[in-house]
Amino acid sequence: MLVKLLVLGAVLYLVYKIFFNKKIKDNSKSTKDEIDTMEQCPSCKVFIAREDSILSNGKYYCSKECLDK
């Protein structure tokens, strides 16, 4: 009976380590990546994520309106 409880505890511990610790590390990594990819629009001076911006002539714009100015 005691052996079964120890095996069950070990399995639960491994499941916890595999699934829950991985999510915590992934969230901290994505937050750092988002901070690193912010750019400032040269027209209106708003900061925007690089992946959501429009690249033109080496500058990142927040919208087509700012690009046309």
Convert the pLDDT of each residue in 13-53 to its tens digit: 888 888 777 655 555 555 555 556 889 999 999 999 888 89
pTM (2 d.p.): 0.48
> Which residues have a Cβ under 8 Å from the Cβ of 56 and sit 6 or more positions away?
67
User: What are the extents of the domains in the chain?
Assistant: 1-36, 38-69
CA distance linking residue 69 with residue 40, whole number of Å: 15
Q: Which two three-digit tokens encode residue 56?
A: 């033109």
